Structure 1
Amino acid sequence: MDIAENAALVVVDVQQGFEDLGFWGRRNHPGADENIAGLIDVWQASGRPVVFVRHDSVEPASPLRPGQPGNGFKTYVEQRRGKGGEGAELLVTKSVNSAFHGTPDLGAWLKDAGISQVVLVGIQTNMCVETTARVGGNLGYDVVVVFDATYTFDVEGPFGWRLSADEVAQASAVTLHGGGFARVVMSKDVLAGAE
């Protein structure tokens, strides 16, 4: 697959608070963190821009609230911030699902930099990653979601329906890809296209 020389890697909400499985429940994709780290490394080594997105929750019980340890990035992400060499780097904070509705304005930053392709990784597949992909697709960006560099959790919906993290992630991938919002791919494909 073709990865643009200036494609932005958007690292969505890879925060310590998502390690609290007592709060979130069972997760999928145990290798996702390793895949995210590898993609950040390749982006930084190639001089491509990386956008780090942090969710500042306004929910009182959330481990992602500002001022809580869980609001911070996971250690491997924090260790990589500022290591991009000549590649641009941006920090976006948000309190809603889409990184396009955060501060500073991600869309304006991408436009100013002449970037038309965004590659999404992070947490949760069916929440902030999916919402960012949908908005990005609506705005006309070439959106790529790296499926095995995302993860989510079991969830209960209406009528007592309950889906496993794998089922939720698959439904998200099918909707995004089948609906034309994004191309959903695996990390090996992105790495091959970026190197």
Structure 2
Amino acid sequence: MELQTNAALILIDQQQGILHPRLGRRNNPQAEERIAELLAYWRQTARPLIHVQHLSRSEQSVFWPGQSGVEFQQRFMPQGAEAVIQKQVPDAFCATTLEADLRKAGIGQLVIVGVATNNSVESTARTAGNLGFDTWVVEDACYTFDKADFFGQARSAEEVHAMSLGNLHGEYATVIDSRQILQRDL
């Protein structure tokens, strides 16, 4: 696997609201550090960056427009001409210009990071794979939260994360870790 010179890094929902304690216990406490390292690398190598911002339709959401939770976290603030895609559902391709923007720019490879692994990351990666993009999900630069399964069984964030990555790997995306990119061991 080779990282293309125009591979786009897609940062999903790195907003202030995702840090709200009411979301519960999470996994990958180092995820933001990995995201920041990848962001710095993309900026250093002048590769395309796309910041995805969730604007919820629910007033109870941490991403409800008009309050601080919807704003980007300071360290993940878009700079200069970096693209921002605003979405209202988990999938960053749904009812946005993301696919058209990528095709117009000739970008065929996507590297996805952010939150939540089993929600916006997984739904965006599934669509990307279905649309034919060479899609990579960086497992140590994503995280999620504890969640009950359909049958009411409590699942740890680690279990939810692992299952989501298992759903994606080999079918919709390639799951890798940040070292494989930053050390260029591909």
Unaligned runs of 5+ in 1: none
Matches within 5 A, 1:76-155: 76-78=75-77, 81-82=78-79, 89-103=82-96, 105-155=97-147
Letter in 2 for 1:20: H
Residue type of the alignment partner of 2:105: A
Deviation at 1:192, TM superposition (A): 2.2
Across the two proteins, how many residue pairs are aligned to each other? 186
* 2:4 aligned counterpart, secondary structure: coil
More displaced, 68-77 or 140-149?
68-77
Aligned residue for 2:14?
A: 14
Q: Which residue of structure 2 lines up, in the alignment, with residue 71 of structure 1? A: 70
Specify the alignment match of 2:169 in structure 1: 177
Q: Deviations over 1:135-191 (max 9, x none)?
A: 00000000000000001000113221221000000001111004x100000000011
In structure 2, distance between residues paired with 1:100 and 1:192: 30
Unaligned runs of 5+ residues in structure 2 are none
> TM-score when scaled to structure 2?
0.96
Change (3 A) 1:54 1:152: same
Structure 1 residues 15-40: Cα deviation after superposition (integer angstroms, max 9, x where no partner): 1101112x211000000000001101
User: Residues 92 and 102 of structure 1 are in contact (CA less than 8 Å); yes or no, is this contact kept in structure 2?
Assistant: no
Distance 2:182 2:102 in 1: 22
Alignment match, 1:37: 36
Q: CA deviation at 1:89?
A: 2.1
Per-residue CA shift, 1:47-72, capped at 9, x if unaligned?
10000000001112111111111101
Structure (1 or 2) with the greater helix fraction: 1
In structure 2, the residue matched to 1:162 is 154
Amino acid at match of 2:7: A
TM-score (norm 1): 0.91
**Deviates most, 60-69 or 139-148:** 60-69
Q: Does 1:49 align with 2:42?
A: no
The residue matched to 2:3 in structure 1 has which SS? Answer: coil
Q: Distance in 2 between matches of 1:97 and 1:63?
A: 14
In 2, the alpha carbon distance for the partners of 1:120 and 1:158 equals 26
Distance 1:60 1:33 in 2: 26
Q: Which runs of 4+ in 1 moved over 4 A?
A: none
Work out the CA distance in 2 between the residues paired with 1:175 and 1:65. Answer: 29
Alpha-carbon RMSD: 1.5
SS at 1:158's partner residue? coil
